[in-house]
Amino acid sequence: MKKILFFICLFSFALANAQSKVVTGKVTDDNAVSIGGVSIMEKNTKKGVMTDFDGNYSISVSSENTILVFSYLGMKTFEQTVAGSNQINVTLKEDVSNLDEIVIIGYGTSKRKDVTGSVVSIKVEGSPAALMPTTNALQFLQGTAPGVNIGAISSAGGSPGLLVRGQNSISASNAPLIVLDGVIFDGSLNQIANGDIASIDVLKDASSAAIYGSRSANGVIIITTKRGKTEKPTINLNHYTGIQSWSRIPKMKSGEEFIKWRADNLSLTNVTDLSIENILSTKEYDAYQAGHQMDWLDEISQFAPIQNYQLSISGRTKSTNYYVSGTYLDQKGVLDGDEFTSFNLSSKIENKITDWLSFGLSTRYDSQDYTGFSPDINQATMYTPYSNKWIKGREDIVLDKFPTPSLLVNPYNNFYNDDLDKRWGLRGSGFVKIKVPGIEGLSFKSTYTQSRRVFDNGFFAHERSFVNPDVEDQLNNPQQFLNKTYGSKSNVTYNSWVFDNVLTYDKNFGDHKITALLGYTKDEFIRESVAFSGTDFEKAGSSDLGFYGLNLGNPERKGGSTSITEKRNVGQFARLYYNYKNKYHITGTYRRDGYSAFGEGNKFGEFPGVSVAWTASEEDFIKNNISQINYLKFRVSYGENGNLGISPYETQAGVNNGVTIFGDQTFNTIYQSSLGNKALSWETTTSLNLGLNFSLFNNRISGDIEYYNSKTTDQLLNRRLPPFTGFGEVRTNIGELENKGLEISLKTVNISSEDFKWSSGMTFWYNRNKLISLVGADVDKDGIPDDDIGNRWFIGESLSAIYDFTVNGIVQTEDTDYIATYGAKPGDLKIVDINGKDANGDLTGLPDGKINADDRSIIGDAAPNFRANISNTFNYKNFEFYFDINIVAGGGKDNRYLGSNKRAFLGSSQGNNHVANWVSGREYWMPDNQSNTVPRPNYNNPYGYGFYQSRGFLRLQNVSMAYNFDDSVKKLLRVNEFKVYVTGKNLFTKTDWVGLDPENAGQIASSSPVIRTFTLGLNLSF
């Protein structure tokens, strides 16, 4: 009997082992990069494992028929039957539809398929955009987020312009709210190291942004930083180095072309002696004789390297997630002296203490140094080529300031002065999260964040700044100008804190899903400044200490000031989301905000929002009949947002100080300088949004379409007052502005094979705004509310409408009737007489034989016709190639995207055409060569015409090529990831704009150059 039992047990053990087996393998992505943290489950069981840092796994399965399910966020779930295999290697494909992708929606998260508002998400981490040499986080959104307009950067450490869905406010701020890791962020995005950013979400419509109430009228940009991903600690090093140059650089006249330009200028003023000796000044003639010329735009440029180093350590365990990084950026701009360095340290840790209690801490330190002067680009473009930078014999010590007897000044005129511009900040944040025991889905999170930021600025003009180097006595004795030296030093400190408390309930009840949120938030912002100034250091005998010796200045000419500004906000908010069968969705949002700057009775405002969505692709009639549709959702949202719009104390009457004399004594006085208005309140934007999300043909084509219409009322404007009040204007809530637009984004997977993948992206959007009403005044009694011509605000027109004269070319010598009628000269602008006044002073719309202000009309618009971006990504084995083309178009029936470009048509805007240089190759009117485009060289533009050109352009904006080394190389080097890459930014621009860059309306002499960048980089993980 015992033997029988023994054989039965032995047979059972053998049978069990025959049914159970161990399967091993590795999980990678399309680029053969190992994926850690992939979930591998035995289907229909709770048995599973996760891949380690290197993507390896080992799992014991129950039978040969076991199906393994591989899943990872952002990737398509993959199933594989064991079927006798002991090793199964899997390549996970990116989930193009990304419907389960987590989206940050304000005080919480949501799956993309559950979003009911207009939210655009940009994945930065691991994308081609992460390789680009971006110095500001907003550059990740440039062209990729429809409805979000990002401008160009034209200096080291510069910040681009930012506008979401057009201009909602006429005169208050149009900046969107920035949220960093779930907490409102009042700093500059240059404080955030781009390598720390994982994703950026933009809340565009009123419903999704309403959760932020009075600060969200201009949209909300939510930045989420990186977290640990793998159980094994990961050390990541990312470095790139590169060079920068002008994206477009104009060529100025030189040699015989410059001499002819100077001679033509003089000939038009009846100068008859046009010999070279008379055309050029003494210094210019000496340089001419010596064969010496200067290319001043080249002279004021510098070798412009950029280098970035980032080192991070991250990881996670079952209870802890951590991420620590340090970043150093050193950038030189293309203009001499334009330098920027920044240093960032960040750390974050989250720990799950028990099943119901967790906490997190994060700190962030940043510093930036902008110290330095750049040469005056205006003077550099006007400066004569026959000149010298330094006085002969005193090179690198004494500037040759004045190449001509008047008007032109050496571009390096700040060479002798001191500058200081340093900034640093510290931000700490901590949270505690409690999952309420006994109530599944109920949690409470309390977060406190405190920030401190310091600006340290200084300036000093030394005595050599006032020396005329052509006067020997001044050159040898600069100390005689110590009485003119002056300087200043200031220190500004910003302290702020934010306290958020959020109660969340998230629960599924069969086919029903409910997410409810209640919250309370409070914040405070304090600005303190201390500033000192000093002038006249003659008695000190020296100015060597600069702004650190202001106390040595003339006691009667020293100054000092201190100030403090405080403001506070408080808010209560709620959000309720309901979902039935993943088909029908509704979200309701409410926020009540209070702002300390408003007067009593107007401190609080209420901002509701609601959105509904129908996922039509979940309906059986689509599921069962239209296989080409993978996902289709229709959305409608409506809501209100606010704009604080005013500074602290602006509702109160302003006071100022002055001086008066009684008899022979001087007295200080205080007087009221402005009227207060305690009735001031929020600007309110009410918006309707219609949206469509789709994914077709097995997710090969996906996209979004959005249409919006918003109206902003109670605009915060300055209203003019009658003179008898003693005040010129008062701030008030009045006026209405409308914005509407269309946004389209499209993604396609064109080719997808084992070794080769080609995907594309396209975005297109436009915005139209219209001024609905202003102050409602009808001074001219014509029954129509008056426009504000002084501010160029016209009811029924765009805020960016261009109001100027209509020009019909250039007056030619044969235009005798025009010359006789309007008193013009050949070579002048031929301005069209379109209007006049009758005996009652009313405009007739008919010519009156005069050119004056009545002949102005709306001739175009400064806003673009539309914006678009086209991107392509190619993956071949371990190679990845990416490029995108950015398009900003003008034209259309409203003649859109015009920019004033006077220096492309006028030799100078300062009345010094007879000595100033000008752009090379540009035709201009002369009696023997009568241009019909550009006026005569000495035309002084008496009517102040803007000389407009289209700013439309097409730009090859970003290009990158990356190579991921295969496992054999990584194993040899003992690294987990090894990638090298090259990138280019702003490589090519096609435009009709004359001058610098059209994106920032870069005029010759008055704008800084947009930067072109080439970099080489590597990414290593250990």
Enter the DSSP assignment of 841. Answer: S
Q: What is the pLDDT of residues 842-895, one digit of tens each?
A: 888 899 999 999 999 999 999 999 999 999 999 999 999 999 999 999 988 888
Helix H or strand E encompassing 641: strand 629-643
Q: What is the pLDDT of residues 960-1015, one digit of tens each?
A: 999 999 888 888 888 888 999 999 999 999 999 999 999 988 888 778 899 999 99
Q: Are residues 131 and 209 in the same domain?
A: yes
Q: Return the CATH number at 40.
A: 2.60.40.1120
Q: What distance, in Å, lies between the first and last C-alpha atoms of the chain?
A: 60
Using the predicted structure, report yes or no on whether residue 245 has a pLDDT greater than 80: yes
The string of DSSP letters for 472-513 reads: HHHHH-GGGGGGG-EEEEEEEEEEEEEEEEEEEEEEEETTEE
What distance lies between CA 953 and its chain's CA centroid? Answer: 19
pLDDT of residue 781: 67
Reported for 479-485, long-range contacts at CB under 8 A and 24+ positions apart, including other chains, are: 479/541, 482/536, 482/537, 482/538, 482/540, 482/541, 482/542, 482/543, 483/536, 483/537, 483/538, 483/554, 484/535, 484/536, 485/460, 485/461, 485/535, 485/536, 485/537, 485/543
In whole angstroms, give the CA distance from residue 807 to residue 933.
10
- Beta strands 56-61 and 90-91 are unpaired
Closest CA to 131 of 236, 229, 245, 239: 239
Q: Are residues 196 and 134 in the same domain?
A: yes
In whole angstroms, give the CA distance from residue 810 to residue 820.
15
Q: Are residues 66 and 152 in the same domain?
A: no
Q: Are residues 208 and 192 in the same domain?
A: yes
82 in any annotated domain: yes
Number of compact structural domains in the chain: 2
Q: Are residues 181 and 197 in the same domain?
A: yes
Helix H or strand E encompassing 961: strand 953-964
Q: Are residues 119 and 167 in the same domain?
A: yes
113 in any annotated domain: yes
Q: Are residues 225 and 102 in the same domain?
A: yes
Mean pLDDT of the chain: 90
Q: What is the pLDDT of residues 297-318, one digit of tens each?
A: 999 999 999 999 999 999 998 8
pLDDT of residue 347: 96
pLDDT of residue 74: 63
Distances (CA, A) of 122 to 111, 145, 699: 15, 7, 18
Q: Are residues 103 and 34 in the same domain?
A: no
Tokens of 701: 């084509």
Domain termination residue (choose one: 229, 253, 285):
229
The string of DSSP letters for 444-463 reads: EEEEEEEEEEEEEEEEEE-G
Q: Are residues 167 and 50 in the same domain?
A: no
Closest CA to 225 of 373, 347, 403, 383: 347
Read off the pLDDT band of 28 (50, 70, 90). Answer: confident
pLDDT of residue 17: 43
pLDDT of residue 785: 79
Q: Is the alpha carbon torsion for 529, 530, 536, 537 positive or negative? A: negative
135 in any annotated domain: yes
The string of DSSP letters for 243-274 reads: EEEESS-PPBP-HHHHHHHHHHHHHTTT----
Using the predicted structure, report yes or no on whether residue 445 has a pLDDT greater than 50: yes
Domain termination residue (choose one: 48, 73, 91):
91
How many CB atoms are closer than 10 A to CB 614? 16
How many CB atoms are closer than 10 A to CB 471? 9
Quote the percentage of the chain above a pLDDT of 70: 96
Strand partners for 584: 580, 614
Helix H or strand E encompassing 707: strand 701-713
In contact, 1014 and 133? CB cutoff 8 Å:
no
Closest CA to 513 of 116, 44, 96: 116
116 in any annotated domain: yes
Q: What is the pLDDT of residues 720-778, one digit of tens each?
A: 777 777 787 888 888 999 999 999 999 999 998 888 999 999 999 999 999 999 877 76
Closest CA to 736 of 765, 705, 713, 755: 713
Q: What is the pLDDT of residues 664-690, one digit of tens each?
A: 787 888 888 888 888 888 899 999 999
Q: What ranges in 834-966 are assigned the alpha helix state H?
A: none
Read off the pLDDT band of 625 (50, 70, 90). Answer: very high
Tokens of 680: 């001031």
Read off the pLDDT band of 9 (50, 70, 90). Answer: very low
447 in any annotated domain: no
Round the CA-based radius of gyration of the chain to a whole number and report it. Answer: 34
Provide the domain limits for residue 52: 21-91
Strand partners for 730: 719
In contact, 157 and 370? CB cutoff 8 Å:
yes
pLDDT of residue 405: 73
Using the predicted structure, report yes or no on whether residue 563 has a pLDDT greater than 60: yes
The average pLDDT across 222-240 equals: 91
Tokens of 322: 């951590």
The average pLDDT across 909-938 equals: 86
Closest CA to 370 of 190, 136, 187, 247: 190
In whole angstroms, give the CA distance from residue 897 to residue 892.
9
The average pLDDT across 434-462 equals: 96
Return the amino acid letter for 184.
Answer: I
201 in any annotated domain: yes
Q: What is the pLDDT of residues 317-366, one digit of tens each?
A: 889 999 999 999 999 999 999 999 999 999 999 999 999 999 999 999 99
Q: Are residues 57 and 35 in the same domain?
A: yes
List b or e across 961-998, with b for residues whose CB sees 16 or more CB atoms inside 10 angstroms: bbbbbeeeebeeeebbebbebbbbbbbebebebbbbbb
Q: What is the pLDDT of residues 107-163, one digit of tens each?
A: 988 888 888 889 999 999 988 988 999 889 999 999 899 999 999 898 999 999 899
In contact, 230 and 315? CB cutoff 8 Å:
yes
The average pLDDT across 29-44 equals: 80
Read off the pLDDT band of 388 (50, 70, 90). Answer: very high
CA angle 836, 841, 845 (to 5 degrees): 30
pLDDT of residue 73: 67
Using the predicted structure, report yes or no on whether residue 18 has a pLDDT greater than 60: no
Q: Are residues 134 and 188 in the same domain?
A: yes
Tokens of 89: 């290697």
Read off the pLDDT band of 835 (50, 70, 90). Answer: very high
pLDDT of residue 8: 39
In whole angstroms, give the CA distance from residue 36 to residue 976.
11
In contact, 479 and 462? CB cutoff 8 Å:
no
Name 969's Cβ contacts closer than 8 Å, sequence gap at least 6. Answer: 978
210 in any annotated domain: yes
Domain termination residue (choose one: 91, 116, 138):
91
Q: What ranges in 732-855 are assigned the alpha helix state H?
A: 816-822
Q: What is the pLDDT of residues 60-118, one digit of tens each?
A: 888 888 889 998 866 778 888 888 788 999 988 766 456 667 788 889 888 888 888 89
Name 748's Cβ contacts closer than 8 Å, sequence gap at least 6. Answer: 700, 701, 702, 759, 760, 761
158 in any annotated domain: yes
Distances (CA, A) of 551 to 302, 463, 546, 558: 36, 17, 10, 8
Helix (H, G, I), strand (E, B) or coil at 139: helix
Q: Return the CATH number at 147.
A: 2.170.130.10
Name 162's Cβ contacts closer than 8 Å, sequence gap at least 6. Answer: 138, 148, 149, 150, 151, 175, 176
Q: Are residues 111 and 218 in the same domain?
A: yes
